[in-house]
Amino acid sequence: MHGPQAEISREIFWNIVGPGFPVEQVLLYILVVGAILLFVRGLVKSGFVTRLKVAFEATGSDVERVNDPWSRLWYTLVDIFAHRKILKEPYQGAFHFFIFYGFLALLITTIIVFLQADVIWPIWRVWFMKDGFYLGLSLFADIFGLLAIIGVLMALARRYFFKPKWLDEKGEDNVILWYILAILVTGFIIEALRIQATEVNPASPMNPYIWFSPVGRTVAFIFAGMSEVALRDTHKVLWWVHVLGALGFIIYIAYSKLIHILMTPVNIFLRPDTDQPPIRTMPPEMFETAESFGIHNVEEFSWKDFLDNEACMRCGRCVEVCPAFNTDKPLLPRDVIQDIRSYVNQKAQIALDPNGTYQVLADDQYTGPALIGDGISKDTIWACTTCMGCVDACPAYILQFPKLIDLRRYLVMMESDFPAEVLDVFKGMENNSNPWGIGAHTRADWAKGLDVPIMAEKGEAEYLFYVGCAGAFDDLNKKVAISLVKLFKLAGLDFAILGTEEGCCGDSAKKIGNEYLYQALATANIEVFKSYNVKKIITLCPHGYNTLKHDYKELGGNFQVFHYTEILDTLIKKGKIQLKHPIENLGTITLHDSCYLGRYNKIYDQPRTLLKALKSGSLVEMEDHHAKSFCCGAGGGRMWMEETLGTRINQKRTQEALDAGAKTVCTACPFCYTMISDGIKELELEDKLQAIDIAQLVVRAAGLDDKIPKAAESGEPKQEEATE
């Protein structure tokens, strides 16, 4: 396209698409500057600036957030443009993808037009929007603009025709979608008016290229009966309507959840560079110096917690996967973040002085609503299973459940306010280093008659088999511990147990909020481990695995920690354990992914590899599996609490196994084993479903006798057997 065609291109963008120069052009500049100023004013009026003032007063500790900035920037860019987390949900991910790239393409197009018409042409008199570049840009804008409209229509359809129960709705939600749709549609109508006025005429040099604007050309058929004067006048009026709408949209961002456009990339950049969702560190010396533990005032959160509040766009991904919400508990992770944000706004009305400075008020000076109780209910705080589903699902990398742990810490360590049944758990851990309160001197009774090597007798071993409380005291899980011992001995593994020197790992104490008790238990274990020069540890329980591998590092305990499924998988692949004996009556098998093994530590393959190696029964996946596995309900200390609200989480998970057509549910976690077994009994499914730990199947397939010695069949000791 040369000569006359280039002149037509310039005329289109100079006299048709844009306002005349100079009066209308100056007016446009004034409006743009005004929109920017009103956007900034909106940040103040909406409370955003006030909440940042509170963030500046934050005293909570935090992990490193700006180390390796170039790596963080690259990760952020890839995450945003690839929609790495958002596309995990196909439908929601697709419409967000279309809207995002549609607007990005139109923004790029607008910037190019601005540079051409308002910078390059006035200054250098160069017109580059011609020939193939102009046609390509026109096609590019049309295609992506259409994708944006499709995305908005998909989003509207979800809200009007098949709205999921976890999707909340505020007035702004529909306003935003209709507003975006109006901007997009008016843009195409303007293009259609321009095409009808300038390109439809066969005599126009642009006529042969008219379908490089396919959407605009199609819409132009609607205006075929209008005169050129009417087309141009209508175009000019609608152009200003479109521009004013777009500038108004910029202003509206400051007042709505659309602020996530700016804040979510910041939050992704500042994501924690840690193996686990970081729970606020409490150094041991803190127990000697601190006047308060946990959080009960918003200022005690970290500055990053406040950014979490601003990055949340209420998408509901965290709610969708939350086991508490899905069993009718009052916990919605999204609402925890939103409630904290609302509470900050409430408190700011009291804490701001006449000059607008935020004052941190002492408890005896503050008379407004309380964070715990008024801002976030106690039932919400105690409903969390710490399954990590919310954190894993959140596309803005918000840490939801760690905030609840901080609130629990205050309730437990400052107010002694926790579910009544937890008191006996704490006493048991304090006196006998196990949550059942069973006498610590019986911790190795499960191993009687098995010739299990004891570390105190052996001196040292390549692996410490950390049995854990469930393997040592719970009848169901003693069988698992025995199976593992038999397999380790068969493989010739150099291992030993601590016996009565072993203590509770402290996971439940930590997640319930009793950090002091957790550190006491953890410190005692670390000292014992170091006394035997322990380097490698095998755990039966994923909760112990996660705690020993990650949390103990904060207290100086650096060990190589393996879950038993990792060890068995390696031993079988090396031929040290051979599975030659098929197991009957398993039927179709399904695997329940433990939250602490799966989402926390990404161990998904080894348990499945073990089950496939059995060559007994087909393996089927439940509806929720791998990273989307549904919690058994025992995490976060919920194992020891009564479940009085809603329906039982373990029953919902058990029903999922039944719905998948399974006959056998396999677990690799003592909590999960117990909860699924209980779910089968509670739903009276004993004739349709059975639960079993993977280790018990492997020991059978290896041809080893899996009968339980009498010493381990004696049942749970009576209360009087426990020692204080």
Q: Identify the pLDDT of residue 21.
A: 53
Whether residue 384 contacts residue 324, with contact meaning beta carbons closer than 8 Å, is answered with yes
CA separation for the pair 128, 578 (Å, rounded): 72
Q: Answer whether CATH 1.10.1060 is correct for domain 286-413.
A: yes
CA separation for the pair 103, 187 (Å, rounded): 12
Whether residue 179 contacts residue 207, with contact meaning beta carbons closer than 8 Å, is answered with no
**For the chain, domain boundaries:** 4-269, 286-413, 422-721
Residue 183: band (very low, low, confident or very high) from pLDDT cuts 50, 70, 90: very high
The residue whose two tokens read 């069988």 is: 479
Q: Identify the pLDDT of residue 188.
A: 97
Q: Identify the pLDDT of residue 721.
A: 40
Please say if the pLDDT value at position 391 is more than 70. yes
DSSP 698-723: HHHHTT---PPPGGG-S-SPPGGGS-
DSSP 640-674: GS---SSS-HHHHHHHHHHHTT-SEEEESSHHHHH
Fold category of 4-269 in CATH: Fumarate Reductase Cytochrome B subunit (1.20.950)
Which residue, among 162, 102, 108, has the nearest Cα to 137 in the 3D structure?
108
Q: Identify the pLDDT of residue 376.
A: 97
CA separation for the pair 429, 425 (Å, rounded): 6
C-alpha pair distances (Å), 477 with each of 196, 274, 447, 541, 675: 77, 31, 12, 10, 12
Sequence letter at residue 536? K
Average pLDDT over residues 527-539: 97
Which residue, among 603, 491, 506, 612, has the nearest Cα to 552 in the 3D structure?
506
CA separation for the pair 117, 16 (Å, rounded): 12
Least confident of 119-123, 298-302, 538-542, 562-566: 119-123
Give, for 34, the enclosing helix (H) or strand (E): helix 23-45
C-alpha pair distances (Å), 611 with each of 617, 619, 654: 9, 8, 19
pLDDT digits (tens, 9 = 90+) for 601-658: 999 999 999 999 998 888 999 999 999 999 999 999 999 999 999 999 999 999 999 9
Q: What is the DSSP letter of 376?
A: B
Which residue, among 471, 465, 703, 463, has the nearest Cα to 577 in the 3D structure?
703
Please say if the pLDDT value at position 305 is more than 80. yes
Coil, strand or helix: which one is 600? coil
Give me the helices (H) in 578-619, please: 605-614
C-alpha pair distances (Å), 493 with each of 257, 466, 568, 633, 687: 57, 14, 11, 34, 38
Q: Identify the pLDDT of residue 279.
A: 95
Number of H helices, E strands in the chain: 30, 8
Average pLDDT over residues 228-253: 95
Sequence letter at residue 11? E
pLDDT digits (tens, 9 = 90+) for 12-22: 444 444 444 56
DSSP lists the bridge partners of residue 156 as none
467 exposed, middle or buried (CB, 10 Å; 0-12, 13-18, 19+)? buried
Strand order, beta sheet including 495-496: 495-496, 463-466, 536-539, 560-563
CA separation for the pair 274, 267 (Å, rounded): 15
Sequence letter at residue 278? P
Average pLDDT over residues 550-567: 97
CA separation for the pair 614, 702 (Å, rounded): 9
Contacts with 137 (C-beta within 8 Å, 6 or more apart), sequence order: 109, 112, 129
Whether residue 337 contacts residue 309, with contact meaning beta carbons closer than 8 Å, is answered with yes
Q: Identify the pLDDT of residue 24.
A: 80
Residue 584: band (very low, low, confident or very high) from pLDDT cuts 50, 70, 90: confident
Task: Tell me the pLDDT of the chain averaged across its residues.
Answer: 92
Average pLDDT over residues 337-366: 90
Which residue, among 47, 34, 721, has the nearest Cα to 344 in the 3D structure?
47
CA separation for the pair 463, 495 (Å, rounded): 5
Percent of the chain with pLDDT over 70: 94
Which residue, among 414, 415, 412, has the nearest Cα to 637 in the 3D structure?
412
Give the CB-side neighbour count of residue 306, counting CA atoms within 13 A: 25
Sequence letter at residue 151? G
Cis peptide before 22 (omega within 30 of 0): yes
Q: What is the DSSP letter of 372?
A: B
Coil, strand or helix: which one is 464? strand
Backbone phi and psi for residue 273, each to the nearest 5 degrees, phi listed first = -95, 60
Q: Identify the pLDDT of residue 706.
A: 54
Please say if the pLDDT value at position 3 is more than 70. no
Tokens representing residue 246 in the block: 């777009």
C-alpha pair distances (Å), 667 with each of 424, 540, 629, 672: 27, 11, 12, 6
DSSP 407-456: HHHHHHHTT--S-TTHHHHHHHHHHHSSTT---GGGTTGGGTTTT--BHH
